[in-house]
A and B are shown apart, each in its own frame.
Chain A
Amino acid sequence: MNSEVRSPKPERSSNSEGRRSEPASRVSGHLDGSRRDFLRVTTVLAAAAASGLVAENEAALAQGTASSSRKGPLVDTNITLSRWPERRLPLDETKALVAKLRSQGVTEAWAGSFDGLLHKDIASVNARLAAECHKEGRGMLVPFGSVNPTLPDWEEDLRRCHEEHHMPGIRLHPNYHRYQLDDPRFAKLLDLAGERKLIVQLAVSMEDERMQHPLMQVPHVDVKPLAVLLESRPGSRIVLLNWGRAVKSDQLPKLAGAGHVFFDIASVEGVGGVANLLKQVPDDRVVFGSQAPFFYFESALLKLKESPLTDPHLAAIRAGNAQRCRHAIA
Protein backbone atom coordinates (compact mmCIF):
# COMPACT_ATOMS: atom_id res chain seq x y z
CA MET A 1 0.00 0.00 0.00
CA ASN A 2 1.33 3.36 -0.94
CA SER A 3 1.67 6.23 1.44
CA GLU A 4 0.26 8.70 -1.03
CA VAL A 5 -3.24 7.47 -0.41
CA ARG A 6 -3.07 6.20 3.14
CA SER A 7 -2.52 8.34 6.13
CA PRO A 8 0.79 10.06 5.53
CA LYS A 9 3.74 8.08 6.85
CA PRO A 10 6.92 9.79 7.93
CA GLU A 11 9.45 9.09 5.21
CA ARG A 12 12.54 7.57 6.70
CA SER A 13 15.94 6.86 5.38
CA SER A 14 18.49 4.27 6.30
CA ASN A 15 22.19 4.65 6.67
CA SER A 16 24.61 2.18 5.19
CA GLU A 17 24.30 -0.12 8.20
CA GLY A 18 20.57 -0.26 7.66
CA ARG A 19 19.84 1.56 10.90
CA ARG A 20 16.90 3.89 10.83
CA SER A 21 17.74 7.52 10.79
CA GLU A 22 15.47 10.45 11.38
CA PRO A 23 12.81 11.15 8.79
CA ALA A 24 14.58 12.71 5.86
CA SER A 25 12.50 15.84 5.98
CA ARG A 26 13.57 16.36 9.58
CA VAL A 27 17.20 15.77 8.84
CA SER A 28 17.67 18.15 5.99
CA GLY A 29 14.57 20.20 5.89
CA HIS A 30 15.23 20.60 2.17
CA LEU A 31 15.39 17.07 0.86
CA ASP A 32 12.61 17.61 -1.59
CA GLY A 33 11.45 15.19 -4.24
CA SER A 34 13.89 16.31 -6.87
CA ARG A 35 16.83 15.87 -4.48
CA ARG A 36 15.64 12.40 -3.55
CA ASP A 37 15.21 11.58 -7.21
CA PHE A 38 18.74 12.77 -7.90
CA LEU A 39 20.15 10.60 -5.14
CA ARG A 40 18.25 7.60 -6.38
CA VAL A 41 19.34 8.12 -9.96
CA THR A 42 22.97 8.50 -9.01
CA THR A 43 22.81 5.36 -6.90
CA VAL A 44 21.38 3.39 -9.78
CA LEU A 45 23.93 4.81 -12.15
CA ALA A 46 26.72 3.90 -9.80
CA ALA A 47 25.46 0.33 -9.71
CA ALA A 48 25.10 0.31 -13.46
CA ALA A 49 28.52 1.82 -13.90
CA ALA A 50 29.93 -0.94 -11.76
CA SER A 51 28.50 -3.34 -14.28
CA GLY A 52 29.62 -1.34 -17.28
CA LEU A 53 26.13 -0.81 -18.53
CA VAL A 54 25.87 2.90 -18.77
CA ALA A 55 27.31 5.23 -21.31
CA GLU A 56 30.60 6.83 -20.52
CA ASN A 57 29.15 10.19 -19.57
CA GLU A 58 26.60 8.57 -17.30
CA ALA A 59 29.31 6.43 -15.76
CA ALA A 60 31.32 9.55 -15.10
CA LEU A 61 28.34 11.04 -13.33
CA ALA A 62 27.96 7.89 -11.28
CA GLN A 63 31.61 7.95 -10.38
CA GLY A 64 30.93 11.22 -8.65
CA THR A 65 29.01 9.30 -5.99
CA ALA A 66 31.33 6.34 -5.90
CA SER A 67 34.27 5.99 -3.59
CA SER A 68 37.59 6.67 -5.22
CA SER A 69 38.73 3.35 -3.85
CA ARG A 70 36.59 1.62 -6.46
CA LYS A 71 39.28 2.60 -8.91
CA GLY A 72 42.57 0.80 -9.11
CA PRO A 73 43.49 -2.77 -9.87
CA LEU A 74 40.95 -5.57 -9.89
CA VAL A 75 42.15 -9.17 -9.81
CA ASP A 76 39.57 -11.81 -10.69
CA THR A 77 40.87 -15.06 -9.22
CA ASN A 78 38.12 -17.20 -10.68
CA ILE A 79 37.48 -17.27 -14.41
CA THR A 80 37.45 -20.26 -16.72
CA LEU A 81 38.12 -20.63 -20.43
CA SER A 82 36.83 -23.00 -23.10
CA ARG A 83 33.41 -24.70 -23.03
CA TRP A 84 31.14 -25.63 -20.14
CA PRO A 85 30.15 -29.21 -20.98
CA GLU A 86 26.39 -28.70 -20.72
CA ARG A 87 25.58 -25.42 -22.41
CA ARG A 88 27.10 -22.60 -24.40
CA LEU A 89 27.77 -19.59 -22.20
CA PRO A 90 27.37 -16.04 -23.49
CA LEU A 91 31.06 -15.25 -22.96
CA ASP A 92 32.74 -18.58 -23.61
CA GLU A 93 34.80 -17.16 -26.46
CA THR A 94 38.01 -15.91 -24.85
CA LYS A 95 38.11 -12.73 -26.88
CA ALA A 96 34.62 -11.76 -25.75
CA LEU A 97 35.36 -12.66 -22.15
CA VAL A 98 38.52 -10.59 -22.13
CA ALA A 99 36.65 -7.63 -23.60
CA LYS A 100 34.04 -7.96 -20.89
CA LEU A 101 36.60 -8.18 -18.11
CA ARG A 102 38.47 -5.17 -19.43
CA SER A 103 35.26 -3.16 -19.64
CA GLN A 104 34.69 -3.92 -15.97
CA GLY A 105 38.12 -2.81 -14.90
CA VAL A 106 39.70 -6.21 -14.40
CA THR A 107 43.46 -5.90 -14.58
CA GLU A 108 44.38 -9.53 -14.00
CA ALA A 109 42.33 -12.73 -14.22
CA TRP A 110 43.35 -16.19 -13.04
CA ALA A 111 42.05 -18.61 -15.63
CA GLY A 112 41.37 -22.30 -15.44
CA SER A 113 39.86 -24.44 -18.17
CA PHE A 114 36.48 -26.13 -18.28
CA ASP A 115 38.27 -28.85 -20.25
CA GLY A 116 40.12 -29.68 -17.05
CA LEU A 117 36.96 -31.10 -15.55
CA LEU A 118 36.50 -34.12 -17.78
CA HIS A 119 39.34 -34.38 -20.26
CA LYS A 120 41.91 -37.08 -19.62
CA ASP A 121 44.59 -35.54 -21.81
CA ILE A 122 45.28 -32.88 -19.21
CA ALA A 123 48.63 -31.99 -20.75
CA SER A 124 46.95 -30.74 -23.91
CA VAL A 125 44.31 -28.93 -21.88
CA ASN A 126 47.01 -27.01 -20.07
CA ALA A 127 49.00 -26.31 -23.21
CA ARG A 128 45.91 -24.88 -24.89
CA LEU A 129 45.09 -22.85 -21.79
CA ALA A 130 48.56 -21.35 -21.68
CA ALA A 131 48.51 -20.56 -25.40
CA GLU A 132 45.04 -19.02 -25.21
CA CYS A 133 45.97 -16.84 -22.26
CA HIS A 134 49.08 -15.68 -24.10
CA LYS A 135 47.27 -15.09 -27.39
CA GLU A 136 44.07 -13.45 -26.17
CA GLY A 137 44.94 -12.27 -22.70
CA ARG A 138 47.40 -9.55 -23.63
CA GLY A 139 48.90 -9.63 -20.17
CA MET A 140 45.64 -9.91 -18.30
CA LEU A 141 44.98 -13.65 -18.31
CA VAL A 142 47.08 -15.78 -15.97
CA PRO A 143 46.75 -19.51 -16.65
CA PHE A 144 46.16 -21.95 -13.80
CA GLY A 145 46.53 -25.46 -15.17
CA SER A 146 44.59 -28.51 -14.14
CA VAL A 147 46.21 -31.42 -12.37
CA ASN A 148 44.39 -34.67 -11.78
CA PRO A 149 46.32 -36.78 -9.28
CA THR A 150 44.31 -39.89 -10.13
CA LEU A 151 45.88 -40.01 -13.60
CA PRO A 152 49.16 -41.81 -14.24
CA ASP A 153 52.22 -39.56 -14.19
CA TRP A 154 50.29 -36.52 -12.97
CA GLU A 155 53.55 -35.20 -11.53
CA GLU A 156 54.68 -34.48 -15.09
CA ASP A 157 51.58 -32.30 -15.64
CA LEU A 158 52.52 -30.38 -12.52
CA ARG A 159 56.08 -29.95 -13.75
CA ARG A 160 54.94 -28.68 -17.13
CA CYS A 161 52.53 -26.20 -15.53
CA HIS A 162 55.43 -24.76 -13.60
CA GLU A 163 58.47 -25.13 -15.80
CA GLU A 164 57.07 -25.01 -19.33
CA HIS A 165 53.97 -22.85 -19.01
CA HIS A 166 55.32 -20.71 -16.15
CA MET A 167 52.01 -20.81 -14.34
CA PRO A 168 51.88 -19.34 -10.84
CA GLY A 169 49.47 -22.00 -9.71
CA ILE A 170 47.15 -24.86 -10.51
CA ARG A 171 43.43 -25.44 -10.22
CA LEU A 172 42.08 -28.66 -8.77
CA HIS A 173 38.68 -30.30 -9.18
CA PRO A 174 38.73 -33.19 -6.69
CA ASN A 175 35.01 -33.88 -7.11
CA TYR A 176 35.17 -34.17 -10.90
CA HIS A 177 38.36 -36.20 -10.59
CA ARG A 178 36.81 -38.41 -7.92
CA TYR A 179 39.15 -38.25 -4.96
CA GLN A 180 38.77 -37.04 -1.41
CA LEU A 181 41.08 -34.59 0.31
CA ASP A 182 42.27 -37.27 2.72
CA ASP A 183 43.63 -39.20 -0.28
CA PRO A 184 47.44 -39.52 0.06
CA ARG A 185 47.81 -38.39 -3.54
CA PHE A 186 46.32 -35.03 -2.60
CA ALA A 187 48.80 -34.65 0.25
CA LYS A 188 51.62 -35.43 -2.15
CA LEU A 189 50.25 -32.92 -4.65
CA LEU A 190 50.19 -30.27 -1.94
CA ASP A 191 53.79 -31.09 -1.07
CA LEU A 192 55.01 -30.90 -4.65
CA ALA A 193 53.07 -27.72 -5.35
CA GLY A 194 54.52 -26.24 -2.19
CA GLU A 195 58.05 -27.11 -3.22
CA ARG A 196 57.46 -25.26 -6.47
CA LYS A 197 55.75 -22.39 -4.62
CA LEU A 198 52.63 -22.86 -6.70
CA ILE A 199 49.27 -21.51 -5.59
CA VAL A 200 46.68 -24.27 -5.34
CA GLN A 201 43.17 -23.24 -6.33
CA LEU A 202 40.62 -25.72 -5.11
CA ALA A 203 37.24 -25.51 -6.84
CA VAL A 204 34.86 -26.77 -4.20
CA SER A 205 32.04 -26.95 -6.70
CA MET A 206 31.20 -25.76 -10.18
CA GLU A 207 27.41 -25.56 -9.99
CA ASP A 208 24.53 -25.95 -7.60
CA GLU A 209 24.13 -29.68 -7.04
CA ARG A 210 20.36 -29.31 -7.44
CA MET A 211 20.72 -28.01 -10.98
CA GLN A 212 23.18 -30.55 -12.29
CA HIS A 213 22.53 -32.69 -15.31
CA PRO A 214 20.97 -35.98 -14.21
CA LEU A 215 23.81 -37.89 -15.85
CA MET A 216 26.47 -35.81 -14.14
CA GLN A 217 25.74 -35.57 -10.44
CA VAL A 218 28.97 -34.31 -8.91
CA PRO A 219 29.05 -33.77 -5.15
CA HIS A 220 30.78 -30.77 -3.63
CA VAL A 221 34.28 -31.29 -2.31
CA ASP A 222 34.37 -32.08 1.40
CA VAL A 223 37.02 -29.67 2.69
CA LYS A 224 37.10 -31.06 6.21
CA PRO A 225 40.51 -32.81 5.85
CA LEU A 226 42.13 -29.64 4.57
CA ALA A 227 42.73 -27.95 7.91
CA VAL A 228 44.83 -30.83 9.26
CA LEU A 229 46.81 -31.09 6.02
CA LEU A 230 47.66 -27.41 6.06
CA GLU A 231 48.81 -27.33 9.66
CA SER A 232 51.88 -29.29 8.65
CA ARG A 233 52.36 -27.40 5.39
CA PRO A 234 52.80 -23.76 6.33
CA GLY A 235 54.10 -22.87 2.89
CA SER A 236 50.98 -23.95 1.04
CA ARG A 237 48.76 -21.30 -0.45
CA ILE A 238 45.19 -22.39 -1.09
CA VAL A 239 42.45 -20.42 -2.79
CA LEU A 240 39.01 -21.90 -2.26
CA LEU A 241 36.69 -21.23 -5.19
CA ASN A 242 32.91 -21.62 -5.29
CA TRP A 243 32.74 -22.83 -1.71
CA GLY A 244 29.54 -21.08 -0.67
CA ARG A 245 27.16 -24.02 -0.77
CA ALA A 246 29.60 -26.57 0.57
CA VAL A 247 31.61 -25.03 3.39
CA LYS A 248 29.74 -24.44 6.62
CA SER A 249 30.29 -21.14 8.35
CA ASP A 250 31.86 -22.77 11.39
CA GLN A 251 34.51 -24.33 9.12
CA LEU A 252 35.64 -20.97 7.79
CA PRO A 253 37.68 -19.76 10.80
CA LYS A 254 39.25 -23.20 11.18
CA LEU A 255 40.37 -23.23 7.57
CA ALA A 256 41.62 -19.67 7.73
CA GLY A 257 43.52 -20.46 10.89
CA ALA A 258 45.11 -23.62 9.53
CA GLY A 259 47.24 -21.94 6.90
CA HIS A 260 47.27 -19.52 4.01
CA VAL A 261 43.72 -20.14 2.85
CA PHE A 262 41.94 -17.54 0.75
CA PHE A 263 38.23 -17.40 -0.05
CA ASP A 264 36.77 -16.06 -3.28
CA ILE A 265 33.41 -14.29 -3.30
CA ALA A 266 31.79 -15.81 -6.40
CA SER A 267 29.41 -18.00 -4.41
CA VAL A 268 28.99 -15.78 -1.37
CA GLU A 269 25.28 -15.17 -0.90
CA GLY A 270 22.87 -13.41 1.46
CA VAL A 271 22.34 -9.71 1.93
CA GLY A 272 25.62 -8.05 2.80
CA GLY A 273 27.39 -11.35 2.16
CA VAL A 274 30.91 -10.03 1.74
CA ALA A 275 30.71 -7.97 4.92
CA ASN A 276 29.39 -11.05 6.72
CA LEU A 277 32.32 -13.09 5.41
CA LEU A 278 34.73 -10.55 6.83
CA LYS A 279 33.28 -11.28 10.25
CA GLN A 280 34.22 -14.94 9.86
CA VAL A 281 37.67 -14.88 8.30
CA PRO A 282 40.56 -12.40 8.47
CA ASP A 283 40.23 -9.50 6.09
CA ASP A 284 43.43 -10.43 4.28
CA ARG A 285 41.94 -13.75 3.13
CA VAL A 286 39.03 -12.60 0.98
CA VAL A 287 39.67 -12.29 -2.75
CA PHE A 288 37.57 -11.21 -5.66
CA GLY A 289 36.36 -14.04 -7.88
CA SER A 290 33.51 -13.98 -10.38
CA GLN A 291 33.25 -17.49 -11.76
CA ALA A 292 32.76 -15.87 -15.14
CA PRO A 293 31.69 -16.83 -17.68
CA PHE A 294 29.61 -19.49 -15.89
CA PHE A 295 28.19 -16.73 -13.69
CA TYR A 296 27.40 -13.23 -14.79
CA PHE A 297 30.51 -11.24 -13.92
CA GLU A 298 28.38 -8.41 -12.52
CA SER A 299 27.14 -10.65 -9.72
CA ALA A 300 30.49 -10.55 -7.93
CA LEU A 301 31.25 -6.94 -8.70
CA LEU A 302 27.93 -5.73 -7.36
CA LYS A 303 28.55 -7.61 -4.10
CA LEU A 304 31.30 -5.11 -3.38
CA LYS A 305 28.71 -2.39 -3.62
CA GLU A 306 26.05 -4.16 -1.58
CA SER A 307 28.27 -4.64 1.45
CA PRO A 308 29.38 -1.57 3.33
CA LEU A 309 33.16 -1.94 3.06
CA THR A 310 35.91 0.41 4.10
CA ASP A 311 38.26 1.64 1.41
CA PRO A 312 41.13 -0.55 2.72
CA HIS A 313 38.86 -3.60 2.72
CA LEU A 314 37.69 -2.84 -0.78
CA ALA A 315 41.20 -2.42 -2.09
CA ALA A 316 42.31 -5.63 -0.40
CA ILE A 317 39.44 -7.67 -1.81
CA ARG A 318 39.66 -6.16 -5.28
CA ALA A 319 43.36 -6.84 -5.69
CA GLY A 320 45.63 -6.54 -2.68
CA ASN A 321 44.97 -9.93 -1.14
CA ALA A 322 45.31 -11.76 -4.44
CA GLN A 323 48.48 -9.92 -5.29
CA ARG A 324 49.90 -10.77 -1.88
CA CYS A 325 48.90 -14.38 -2.37
CA ARG A 326 50.67 -14.46 -5.70
CA HIS A 327 53.76 -12.40 -4.98
CA ALA A 328 54.46 -11.42 -1.41
CA ILE A 329 54.21 -14.78 0.30
CA ALA A 330 56.19 -16.43 -2.44
Chain B
Amino acid sequence: MIELENVNYRYPASQQPALADITLQIKAGEFVAVVGANGAGKSTLLYALAGFVPHFYGGDFDGRLRVLGHDVAADGPASVVGQVGLVFQDPFNQISGARFTVREEIAFGLENLNVARAQMDERIDRALALAGLEGLGDRSPFALSGGQQQRLALASIVVMEPELLVLDEPTSQLDPVGTRQVFEALDRLTGERGTTIVIAEHKLEWVAAFADRVVVLDDGRIVEDAPPDQALVADETTRPGLGQTRYTRAGRLARQRGLIPADRPLPVTLSQAIEYFS
Protein backbone atom coordinates (compact mmCIF):
# COMPACT_ATOMS: atom_id res chain seq x y z
CA MET B 1 0.00 0.00 0.00
CA ILE B 2 2.69 2.50 1.09
CA GLU B 3 6.43 2.22 0.59
CA LEU B 4 9.02 4.81 1.56
CA GLU B 5 12.70 4.08 1.11
CA ASN B 6 15.40 6.48 2.29
CA VAL B 7 13.13 9.49 1.87
CA ASN B 8 14.70 12.86 2.65
CA TYR B 9 12.89 16.14 2.36
CA ARG B 10 13.61 19.79 3.08
CA TYR B 11 11.12 22.64 2.75
CA PRO B 12 12.20 25.56 0.55
CA ALA B 13 14.35 28.08 2.44
CA SER B 14 14.77 25.69 5.35
CA GLN B 15 18.17 24.47 6.53
CA GLN B 16 16.86 21.54 8.55
CA PRO B 17 15.51 18.42 6.88
CA ALA B 18 11.83 17.90 7.71
CA LEU B 19 12.13 14.19 6.88
CA ALA B 20 15.44 12.37 7.25
CA ASP B 21 16.12 8.92 5.83
CA ILE B 22 12.58 7.65 6.27
CA THR B 23 12.07 3.99 5.39
CA LEU B 24 8.59 2.71 6.10
CA GLN B 25 6.14 0.16 4.73
CA ILE B 26 2.45 0.13 5.53
CA LYS B 27 0.20 -2.72 4.45
CA ALA B 28 -3.41 -2.44 3.31
CA GLY B 29 -5.85 -2.32 6.23
CA GLU B 30 -3.30 -1.27 8.86
CA PHE B 31 -4.15 1.41 11.45
CA VAL B 32 -0.91 3.33 11.95
CA ALA B 33 -0.39 6.27 14.32
CA VAL B 34 2.41 8.77 13.79
CA VAL B 35 3.43 10.44 17.05
CA GLY B 36 6.15 12.77 18.30
CA ALA B 37 6.77 16.35 19.37
CA ASN B 38 5.40 19.29 17.38
CA GLY B 39 7.86 19.99 14.59
CA ALA B 40 9.11 16.36 14.48
CA GLY B 41 7.82 15.88 10.91
CA LYS B 42 4.41 14.25 11.47
CA SER B 43 2.43 16.57 9.20
CA THR B 44 5.17 16.54 6.56
CA LEU B 45 5.15 12.75 6.42
CA LEU B 46 1.37 12.75 6.06
CA TYR B 47 1.47 15.40 3.33
CA ALA B 48 4.04 13.28 1.46
CA LEU B 49 1.73 10.24 1.56
CA ALA B 50 -1.09 12.33 0.07
CA GLY B 51 1.17 13.80 -2.63
CA PHE B 52 1.16 17.36 -1.27
CA VAL B 53 4.86 17.19 -0.37
CA PRO B 54 6.83 18.00 -2.42
CA HIS B 55 4.25 18.66 -5.16
CA PHE B 56 2.65 21.81 -3.70
CA TYR B 57 5.36 22.86 -1.29
CA GLY B 58 8.46 22.53 -3.49
CA GLY B 59 11.74 21.92 -1.66
CA ASP B 60 14.30 19.14 -2.02
CA PHE B 61 12.95 15.61 -2.11
CA ASP B 62 14.86 12.40 -2.69
CA GLY B 63 14.28 8.73 -2.07
CA ARG B 64 11.56 6.35 -3.19
CA LEU B 65 7.89 6.93 -2.31
CA ARG B 66 5.09 4.74 -3.67
CA VAL B 67 1.46 5.01 -2.57
CA LEU B 68 -0.96 2.50 -4.09
CA GLY B 69 1.62 1.91 -6.81
CA HIS B 70 1.80 5.60 -7.76
CA ASP B 71 4.88 7.77 -7.66
CA VAL B 72 3.04 10.51 -5.75
CA ALA B 73 6.19 12.55 -5.17
CA ALA B 74 6.47 13.09 -8.92
CA ASP B 75 2.81 13.02 -9.92
CA GLY B 76 1.18 14.83 -6.98
CA PRO B 77 -2.21 14.34 -5.34
CA ALA B 78 -4.09 14.16 -8.65
CA SER B 79 -2.54 10.74 -9.29
CA VAL B 80 -4.33 9.25 -6.27
CA VAL B 81 -7.50 11.37 -6.15
CA GLY B 82 -10.41 9.33 -4.83
CA GLN B 83 -8.00 6.69 -3.52
CA VAL B 84 -6.18 8.73 -0.89
CA GLY B 85 -7.99 11.18 1.40
CA LEU B 86 -6.18 13.73 3.58
CA VAL B 87 -7.96 15.32 6.55
CA PHE B 88 -6.16 18.51 7.54
CA GLN B 89 -5.52 19.54 11.12
CA ASP B 90 -7.36 22.83 10.74
CA PRO B 91 -10.87 22.24 9.40
CA PHE B 92 -10.81 25.70 7.78
CA ASN B 93 -8.23 24.34 5.33
CA GLN B 94 -10.68 21.66 4.31
CA ILE B 95 -14.09 23.26 4.20
CA SER B 96 -14.54 24.84 0.77
CA GLY B 97 -16.66 27.78 1.92
CA ALA B 98 -18.30 27.62 -1.51
CA ARG B 99 -21.27 25.61 -0.23
CA PHE B 100 -24.31 26.64 1.75
CA THR B 101 -25.04 23.47 3.71
CA VAL B 102 -23.17 20.64 5.36
CA ARG B 103 -24.69 18.15 2.87
CA GLU B 104 -23.54 20.25 -0.10
CA GLU B 105 -20.09 20.54 1.41
CA ILE B 106 -19.85 16.77 1.74
CA ALA B 107 -21.19 16.35 -1.82
CA PHE B 108 -18.49 18.60 -3.26
CA GLY B 109 -15.89 15.88 -3.86
CA LEU B 110 -18.47 13.38 -5.15
CA GLU B 111 -19.79 15.89 -7.70
CA ASN B 112 -16.27 16.24 -9.05
CA LEU B 113 -16.11 12.48 -9.45
CA ASN B 114 -19.47 12.36 -11.30
CA VAL B 115 -21.18 10.10 -8.79
CA ALA B 116 -24.90 9.48 -9.54
CA ARG B 117 -27.38 11.50 -7.46
CA ALA B 118 -29.11 8.57 -5.71
CA GLN B 119 -25.82 6.97 -4.77
CA MET B 120 -24.54 10.33 -3.62
CA ASP B 121 -27.37 10.81 -1.10
CA GLU B 122 -26.78 7.39 0.36
CA ARG B 123 -23.04 7.97 0.70
CA ILE B 124 -23.59 11.40 2.29
CA ASP B 125 -25.99 9.87 4.84
CA ARG B 126 -23.40 7.25 5.71
CA ALA B 127 -20.63 9.87 6.05
CA LEU B 128 -22.85 12.07 8.26
CA ALA B 129 -23.62 9.11 10.52
CA LEU B 130 -20.00 8.02 10.69
CA ALA B 131 -18.87 11.52 11.70
CA GLY B 132 -21.69 11.89 14.23
CA LEU B 133 -23.30 14.78 12.32
CA GLU B 134 -26.79 13.33 11.83
CA GLY B 135 -29.42 16.06 11.85
CA LEU B 136 -26.94 18.80 10.92
CA GLY B 137 -26.99 18.24 7.15
CA ASP B 138 -28.97 21.39 6.39
CA ARG B 139 -26.92 23.74 8.58
CA SER B 140 -24.37 26.16 7.19
CA PRO B 141 -20.82 24.81 7.69
CA PHE B 142 -20.01 28.12 9.36
CA ALA B 143 -22.80 27.72 11.93
CA LEU B 144 -21.07 24.64 13.32
CA SER B 145 -18.85 24.54 16.41
CA GLY B 146 -15.11 23.97 15.98
CA GLY B 147 -15.55 20.33 16.90
CA GLN B 148 -18.42 19.86 14.46
CA GLN B 149 -16.40 21.52 11.69
CA GLN B 150 -13.57 19.13 12.37
CA ARG B 151 -15.97 16.20 11.98
CA LEU B 152 -17.38 17.78 8.79
CA ALA B 153 -13.84 17.86 7.38
CA LEU B 154 -13.62 14.14 8.18
CA ALA B 155 -17.04 13.40 6.63
CA SER B 156 -16.17 15.27 3.42
CA ILE B 157 -13.14 12.99 2.95
CA VAL B 158 -14.67 9.72 4.18
CA VAL B 159 -17.55 10.13 1.69
CA MET B 160 -15.01 9.63 -1.13
CA GLU B 161 -14.40 6.13 0.30
CA PRO B 162 -10.63 6.35 -0.06
CA GLU B 163 -8.51 3.22 0.28
CA LEU B 164 -5.99 5.20 2.30
CA LEU B 165 -7.17 7.76 4.84
CA VAL B 166 -4.51 10.15 6.15
CA LEU B 167 -5.51 12.31 9.13
CA ASP B 168 -3.53 15.12 10.74
CA GLU B 169 -4.63 15.48 14.38
CA PRO B 170 -8.30 15.11 13.48
CA THR B 171 -9.46 15.32 17.11
CA SER B 172 -7.55 18.40 18.27
CA GLN B 173 -10.72 20.49 18.71
CA LEU B 174 -12.88 17.66 20.02
CA ASP B 175 -14.06 16.83 23.50
CA PRO B 176 -13.53 13.26 24.76
CA VAL B 177 -16.91 12.12 23.46
CA GLY B 178 -16.16 13.56 19.99
CA THR B 179 -12.68 12.03 20.09
CA ARG B 180 -14.13 8.63 20.93
CA GLN B 181 -16.60 8.95 18.03
CA VAL B 182 -13.80 9.68 15.58
CA PHE B 183 -11.59 6.80 16.73
CA GLU B 184 -14.51 4.37 16.75
CA ALA B 185 -15.48 5.56 13.26
CA LEU B 186 -11.93 4.99 12.01
CA ASP B 187 -11.92 1.57 13.64
CA ARG B 188 -15.13 0.70 11.77
CA LEU B 189 -13.59 1.88 8.49
CA THR B 190 -10.62 -0.46 8.88
CA GLY B 191 -12.81 -3.30 10.15
CA GLU B 192 -15.66 -3.11 7.65
CA ARG B 193 -14.11 -1.56 4.58
CA GLY B 194 -10.45 -2.46 5.02
CA THR B 195 -9.46 1.21 4.83
CA THR B 196 -5.81 1.86 5.61
CA ILE B 197 -5.42 4.60 8.24
CA VAL B 198 -2.42 6.79 8.96
CA ILE B 199 -3.12 9.31 11.72
CA ALA B 200 -0.95 11.91 13.45
CA GLU B 201 -2.20 12.31 17.02
CA HIS B 202 -1.04 13.61 20.40
CA LYS B 203 -3.73 11.87 22.42
CA LEU B 204 -1.70 8.78 23.25
CA GLU B 205 -4.46 7.19 25.30
CA TRP B 206 -6.50 6.84 22.08
CA VAL B 207 -3.54 5.86 19.94
CA ALA B 208 -2.72 3.11 22.42
CA ALA B 209 -6.27 1.77 22.37
CA PHE B 210 -6.84 1.80 18.59
CA ALA B 211 -3.62 1.73 16.54
CA ASP B 212 -2.01 -1.50 15.34
CA ARG B 213 1.32 0.22 15.00
CA VAL B 214 2.97 3.41 16.24
CA VAL B 215 5.66 5.27 14.32
CA VAL B 216 7.58 7.68 16.58
CA LEU B 217 9.24 10.63 14.84
CA ASP B 218 11.95 12.81 16.31
CA ASP B 219 13.63 15.58 14.28
CA GLY B 220 12.36 14.10 11.02
CA ARG B 221 13.62 10.58 11.76
CA ILE B 222 11.80 7.41 12.69
CA VAL B 223 13.10 6.47 16.13
CA GLU B 224 10.59 3.69 16.82
CA ASP B 225 8.14 1.62 14.78
CA ALA B 226 6.33 -0.93 16.92
CA PRO B 227 2.96 -1.90 18.42
CA PRO B 228 1.69 0.66 20.98
CA ASP B 229 2.63 -1.38 24.04
CA GLN B 230 6.26 -1.27 22.93
CA ALA B 231 6.43 2.13 21.23
CA LEU B 232 4.73 4.16 23.97
CA VAL B 233 6.47 2.95 27.12
CA ALA B 234 9.79 4.79 26.63
CA ASP B 235 10.97 6.75 29.64
CA GLU B 236 10.02 10.43 29.45
CA THR B 237 13.64 11.47 29.83
CA THR B 238 14.57 9.69 26.58
CA ARG B 239 11.53 10.95 24.64
CA PRO B 240 10.71 14.33 26.21
CA GLY B 241 8.51 15.46 23.34
CA LEU B 242 6.38 12.34 23.25
CA GLY B 243 4.99 11.90 26.73
CA GLN B 244 3.12 8.79 27.80
CA THR B 245 -0.29 7.76 29.02
CA ARG B 246 -1.05 8.06 32.74
CA TYR B 247 -1.41 4.27 32.78
CA THR B 248 2.23 3.90 31.78
CA ARG B 249 3.33 6.52 34.31
CA ALA B 250 1.39 4.81 37.08
CA GLY B 251 2.86 1.45 36.06
CA ARG B 252 6.40 2.80 36.18
CA LEU B 253 5.86 4.52 39.52
CA ALA B 254 4.43 1.31 41.03
CA ARG B 255 7.45 -0.56 39.72
CA GLN B 256 9.84 2.00 41.27
CA ARG B 257 8.04 1.71 44.60
CA GLY B 258 8.42 -2.07 44.51
CA LEU B 259 4.64 -2.58 44.35
CA ILE B 260 4.73 -4.51 41.05
CA PRO B 261 7.45 -6.88 39.82
CA ALA B 262 9.83 -5.17 37.39
CA ASP B 263 9.45 -7.90 34.76
CA ARG B 264 5.74 -7.19 34.22
CA PRO B 265 5.34 -5.25 30.93
CA LEU B 266 4.25 -1.63 31.43
CA PRO B 267 0.63 -0.88 30.46
CA VAL B 268 -0.41 1.71 27.86
CA THR B 269 -4.21 1.28 27.91
CA LEU B 270 -6.87 1.05 30.62
CA SER B 271 -7.41 -2.67 30.03
CA GLN B 272 -3.69 -3.36 30.24
CA ALA B 273 -3.46 -1.26 33.40
CA ILE B 274 -6.29 -3.23 35.01
CA GLU B 275 -4.38 -6.44 34.31
CA TYR B 276 -1.08 -4.91 35.44
CA PHE B 277 -2.44 -3.80 38.82
CA SER B 278 -4.63 -6.87 39.48
- The answer to whether A and B assemble together is no
B residues engaging A (CB < 8 A)?
A: none
